[in-house]
Amino acid sequence: MSKSGAAGIAAADRPRMSRKAVVALVFLVLITVFLNADMNLLYPNAVFIEKDLGINDAQLGAVSSAFIIIGAAVTLIWGYLTDFASRKKLLLFTVLLGEIPCFMTSFSQTYGQLYFWRSLTGLGIGGIIPITYSLLSDYFSPSERGLANTWINMVTGLGVVLGMLAAGFIGPVYGWRLPFILAAVPNFVLVPLFYFFVKEPRRGEAEPELRALLRGETAGAGAGGRTGAGGRSAEVNHLRPNYLAMARVKTNILSFIQGIPGSVPWGVLTFAIPIYFVRERGFSVQAATMMMMVFGAGVLAGGFAGGLIGTKLYNIRRSLMPIFLGVVVYVGMFMAYGVVAYPARAGMSFAEMLGPVILAFLTGFVAAMVGPNPKTILMNVNLPENRGSISSIFNLTDSIGNGAGPFLGGLLSVRFGMTRALYIAISFWALCGFWWFFVARTEPRDEEAVRRNMRERAERMGAGPANTAPSARG
């Protein structure tokens, strides 16, 4: 194909989101915000909860661990179900399965009740991830998915921050129980509205090769046509996730390999940065918390900007997105070294504090630019019936790295001291960034295999040879 022809094909699939897709995205954004708002509701009011229920730090920590472990484990089950069951029904069930326990947590009178309800809340967090990304992959075409993922990625972090802020301001005044109620109630309204008023997309509907066929079938059904097992959409809907096929996709394997070392620094940094600035630099708890908040603000902004840039690069050439990820991982790693090495100290003037504060923000910004792009890559190199499962496996590898981070950081701190522990933990990003450059070679080939499969399906579905080609150049 000529250079100009490839550019024309890419232009033909430029983002032009349908009204149905935009409405669905708005609902999913709002649902995600409130579902993630209950992630860290315990921590701001830990003192009040422990005093009220007569428990200690270890017991409260066990509650949080159970929440994370259950959420990580259930994502595999939900990922499998997502790839062939009704995703609207799963979404309704999953979110309520998480929000009802969140609501009931506020009525806990014993440690056992708190542990029980809080553990069940993890079911909603773990289950929503594969459902959301499976839906997005069928609402949005390959060139649109990066932008949709960017919004979901940003509001996931925003929900966590808003939940912590609400707990920190409301809990001391109105009691630690009220934030759990406020975090849960909105989704009791949003999820039924989504279920009844938002149309679920057909699997493969957003694929360029199948779009006209499946949307035409929907129009025909509205005029008295027939859908279901006898319709064209049965070509995809009857399929089950194929784990052997997923294992053959080199980009999947490389994404999982980079995921664990890429997540470890995040788990360590969120645990160790406040301790480091208090213990090693003599900061007050308030000043150390401010540094963490500045870093977090950079993370939120960087994730959004990185998603936009990654999408733009993908629409120019597929391989540019993973190259971009490899570059920003290494740049973020060296900037994180700079945060640790910066000669910040207690008692610095406002002008002197601008240096470490700006560096902390920029480090969070750059490091987080990886953002939603890995999930976009996985969507584009996997078949429609495998996308829920693949996103759940990827989420599990991320959870392993994030979960191991605090434990590893503690071990390294005991053995080498906090400063060296941070340098070692940050260096894990070198292993992460290295693999993205290999993904730049495998992603175009793996995505072209998906596009070829979609063209073959279009032919089998009775439309003759499909004219639509890939959404971006290889």
Q: What is the pLDDT of residues 160-187, one digit of tens each?
A: 888 888 888 888 889 999 999 999 999 9
Q: Is it the case that residue 430 has pLDDT exceeding 90?
A: yes
- Specify the amino acid at residue 165: L
% residues pLDDT > 70 (the chain): 86
pLDDT tens digits for 383-428? 988 888 888 888 887 777 766 666 677 777 778 888 888 899 899 9
Closest Cα partner for 91 from 130, 122, 146? 130
- Give pLDDT, residue 474: 62
CATH code of domain 15-196: 1.20.1250.20
In whole angstroms, give the CA distance from residue 286 to residue 27. 36
Rounded CA gap, 223 and 59, in Å? 60
Average confidence (pLDDT) over 303-323 = 94
pLDDT, average across residues 292-296:
84
The answer to whether 15-196 and 241-464 have equal CATH topology is yes
Whether CATH 1.20.1250.20 fits 241-464? yes
Q: Are 118 and 101 in contact (CB under 8 A)?
A: yes
CB within 8 A of 229, min separation 6: which ones?
A: 237, 238
Q: Which helix (H) or strand (E) holds 129?
A: helix 111-139
Q: Would you state the structure tokens that stand for residue 249, as one six-digit string? A: 């996709």
Whole-number Å distance between alpha carbons of 275 and 5: 56
Helix (H, G, I), strand (E, B) or coil at 177: coil
The whole-number pLDDT of residue 377 equals: 94
Q: Where do the domains of the chain lie?
A: 15-196, 241-464
Q: What residue type is 217 in one-letter code?
A: E
Task: Tell me what pLDDT residue 322 has.
Answer: 96
Residue 3: predicted pLDDT: 40
The dihedral of CA 395, 401, 407, 410: what is its sign? negative
Task: Say if residue 113's pLDDT is above 60.
Answer: yes
pLDDT band at 235 (very low <50, low <70, confident <90, very high): low
